[in-house]
């Protein structure tokens, strides 16, 4: 009943434009800033806004921000409304896979590129030439996740704890498959609902299987809950978590001592620094939004910057931008982006680890998928 009621909430719309330049583009930002994905969706929106507010000198940007919440029809309506206003160049599209799947046929019909951070594998497996994903999917991050546990930590008895959501099950499948390819079988696997509060039953079952490493693929809150309760229960084996653990808001829920020995896979970790440009991005982000950036913010910033680079080169129509995204390599802050022919633009993943002294993770390992263009 609640979900039905949410349909009637009008999406928040913000219209704005940047200083005048020679080339004009209109880039609506249609992302979930309310609902269960609001944490990640807000990061996505913020990353896009930071890029749109600072376009290249010769580009004029018009954009609107609309909340797609969590229902596919809200995302479809937002896209229809944006298209009906005319002259769209590209769309910053929801990172929620179910919304992307609903928007893809429209993108094909209206011939408008969607740039997204969605991790749902299927969106780039449908032969739709109008979708471009700027966050490494499970096929990349879960390989890094498994390889770090097996090759770097030397673990042979992993336990996998995953969320029963679509996100969690996709991650579990790729993680288990990657482990198998490395010649390692999991000793324990269990999925949990996002509403589970007490993790002790799960921890006690995992402990009985005698794993030597715990691999998590959970959302932000459950990740922090699991780490805290595992440490309280005296679990001292390494924990390698999913990308939720890299988010500063997740680490903020835990004491630095609870984070000792905790690592995580992610596309990037802007608060960990690395070079002057990323550090400047983090400073600008904090100044503009009053919070720390995460990989979703940096990925969407890079994606939007690439669209603006296309515009700066004269590619202002949807078709010209699509061709630019399909054929050009773009040096972003997090990594180099290029299409694999299906719209997958991000091919790097990193492993970050906390040393227990603070909540600032260090990047300890960089993984890069094979480059199909070389």
Scan residues 164-203 and list those touching another protein (CB under 8 A): 164, 190-198, 200-202
**Closest CA relative to residue 18, chosen from 48, 46, 59, 77:** 59
Does 287 contact another protein by CB under 8 A? no
Q: 52, 78, 79, 224: which one contacts another protein (CB under 8 A)?
A: 224
| Dist CA 56 CA 63 (whole Å) | 15
x-or-dash pattern for another protein, window 14-43, by CB under 8 A? -------------------xxxx-xx-xx-
Give SS3 for 265.
strand
Does 269 contact another protein by CB under 8 A? no
Does 257 contact another protein by CB under 8 A? no
H or E segment and range at residue 279: helix 276-289
Token code pair at residue 214: 């715990």
Q: 15, 126, 252, 283: which one contacts another protein (CB under 8 A)?
A: 252
How many other C-beta atoms are found inside a 10 Å radius of the C-beta of residue 15? 10
Q: Give me Rg for the CA atoms of the chain.
A: 20
Contacting range for another protein; rule: CB under 8 A; set: 89-97, 178-186, 248-256, 279-287: 248-256
Does 209 contact another protein by CB under 8 A? no
User: 3-state DSSP: the chain helix, strand, coil percent, rounded to 5?
Assistant: 45, 20, 40
Does 115 contact another protein by CB under 8 A? no
Least distance between another protein and beta carbon 125 (Å): 27
Q: CB within 8 A of 40, min separation 6: which ones?
A: 32, 95, 117, 296
Does 212 contact another protein by CB under 8 A? no
**Residues engaged in binding another protein (CB under 8 A):** 1-2, 5-6, 9, 33-36, 38-39, 41-42, 164, 190-198, 200-202, 204-205, 220-221, 224-225, 232-233, 249-250, 252-253, 291
């Amino acid at each position: 009943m609640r979900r039905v009621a949410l349909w009637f909430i009008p999406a928040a719309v913000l219209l704005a434009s940047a200083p005048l330049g020679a080339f004009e583009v209109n880039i609506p930002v249609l992302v979930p800033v309310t609902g269960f994905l609001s944490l990640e969706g807000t990061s996505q929106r913020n990353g896009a806004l930071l890029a749109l507010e600072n376009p290249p000198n010769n580009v004029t940007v018009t954009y609107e921000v609309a909340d797609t919440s969590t229902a596919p029809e809200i995302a479809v309506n937002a896209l229809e409304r944006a298209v009906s206003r005319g002259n769209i160049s590209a769309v910053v599209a929801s990172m929620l896979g179910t919304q992307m799947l609903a928007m893809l046929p429209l993108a094909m019909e209206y011939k408008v590129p969607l740039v997204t951070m969605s991790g749902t594998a299927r969106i780039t497996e449908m032969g739709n030439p109008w979708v471009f994903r700027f966050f490494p999917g499970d096929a990349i991050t879960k390989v890094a996740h498994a390889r770090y546990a097996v090759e770097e930590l030397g673990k042979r008895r992993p336990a996998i704890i995953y969320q029963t959501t679509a996100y969690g099950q996709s991650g579990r499948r790729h993680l288990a498959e990657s482990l198998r390819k490395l010649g390692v079988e999991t000793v324990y696997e269990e999925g949990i609902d996002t509403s589970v509060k007490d993790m002790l039953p799960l921890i006690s079952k995992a402990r009985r299987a005698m794993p030597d490493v715990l691999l998590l693929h959970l959302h932000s809150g459950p990740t922090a809950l699991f780490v805290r309760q595992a440490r309280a229960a005296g679990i001292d084996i390494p924990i390698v978590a999913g990308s939720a653990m890299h988010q500063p808001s997740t680490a903020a829920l835990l004491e630095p001592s609870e984070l000792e020995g905790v690592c995580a896979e992610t596309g990037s970790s802007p608060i960990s620094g690395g070079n002057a440009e990323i550090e400047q991005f983090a400073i600008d982000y904090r100044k503009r939004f009053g919070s720390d950036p995460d990989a979703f913010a940096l990925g969407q910033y890079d994606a939007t910057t690439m669209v603006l680079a296309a515009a700066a080169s004269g590619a202002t129509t949807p078709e010209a931008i699509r061709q630019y995204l399909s054929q050009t390599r773009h040096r972003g802050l997090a990594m180099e982006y290029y299409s694999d022919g299906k719209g997958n633009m991000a091919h790097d993943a990193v492993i970050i680890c906390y040393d227990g002294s603070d909540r600032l993770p260090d990047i300890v390992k960089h993984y890069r998928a094979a480059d199909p263009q070389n």
